């Protein structure tokens, strides 16, 4: 198994992206490349890196996947930079204050581009984590609203949005709703590893142990 990692540095109006493929079994680099571009080329850089990784891994993409690879998530560079800052926060820690900061970046991106679906998906993820920590109704409502809006604006996000909703409903104790969302996610994307893991968690919470145990090996096989 291989994992992709990226390190991004900005200097004025220039950006450097260091992309690496890491062998997950031994931690060794199997491929790496540096990209130095003007910041205005950031969307092209994303597509170039994704295409290079696909080529290196010898992956055959469906037409739908190729379209998503070439899709530009927003017309606004400023909104996209704020989105990337929010994503960086999400990946840096699971602490509540970090999730609040991430949400702030996504909110700023949406002020520039109110139809930026992936910014809503970012808020969904951050608010979900906050709800896991706080059990506060406001965090639950914020996560649910952002998830639904992300799915409405970009149907291509439906699988990951439904997994997020499944997790949200599981933490609320709404297991039937959670299972419905996760079954729909798997129907859309049968290879969605996180959906099987989350469905296993739901069934474990319902004391459906045998069914839960069947989900986790399936996730391992897909991974």
pLDDT score of 47 = 73
pLDDT score of 16 = 76
pLDDT score of 2 = 46
pLDDT score of 66 = 60
Radius of gyration from C-alpha coordinates of the chain: 18
Asked whether 197 and 185 are in contact (CB, 8 A), the reply is: no
Q: Check the CA dihedral 165-71-46-186 and report its sign.
A: positive
Sites in the chain below the pLDDT cut of 50: 1-2
pLDDT score of 27 = 74
pLDDT 10s digits, 61-97 = 555 556 565 567 788 888 988 998 999 899 888 899 9
Torsion from C-alpha of 87, 110, 125, 80, nearest 10 degrees = -20
Asked whether 84 and 119 are in contact (CB, 8 A), the reply is: no
Predicted model pTM: 0.74
pLDDT 10s digits, 116-141 = 999 999 999 999 999 999 999 999 99
pLDDT score of 176 = 94
pLDDT score of 141 = 96
pLDDT score of 177 = 95
């Amino acid at each position: 198994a291989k994992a992709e990692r990226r390190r991004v540095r900005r200097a004025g109006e220039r950006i450097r992206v260091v992309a690496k493929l890491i062998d997950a079994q031994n931690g060794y680099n199997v491929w790496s490349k540096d990209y130095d571009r003007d910041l205005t080329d950031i969307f092209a850089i994303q597509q170039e890196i994704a295409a290079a990784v696909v080529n290196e891994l010898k992956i055959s993409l469906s037409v739908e996947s190729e379209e998503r690879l070439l899709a530009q998530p927003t017309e606004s560079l400023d909104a996209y930079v704020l989105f990337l800052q929010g994503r960086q926060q999400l990946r840096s820690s699971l602490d509540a204050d970090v999730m609040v900061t991430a949400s702030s970046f996504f909110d700023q991106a949406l002020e520039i581009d109110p139809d930026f679906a992936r910014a809503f998906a970012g808020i969904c993820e951050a608010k979900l984590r906050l709800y896991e920590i706080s059990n506060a109704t406001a965090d639950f409502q914020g996560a649910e609203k952002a998830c639904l809006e992300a799915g409405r604006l970009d149907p291509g996000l439906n699988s990951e949005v439904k997994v997020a909703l499944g997790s949200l409903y599981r933490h609320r104790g709404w297991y039937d709703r959670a299972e419905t969302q996760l079954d729909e996610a798997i129907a859309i994307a049968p290879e969605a590893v996180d959906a099987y893991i989350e469905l296993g968690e739901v069934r474990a919470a319902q004391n459906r142990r045998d069914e839960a145990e069947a989900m986790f090996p399936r996730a391992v096989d897909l991974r």
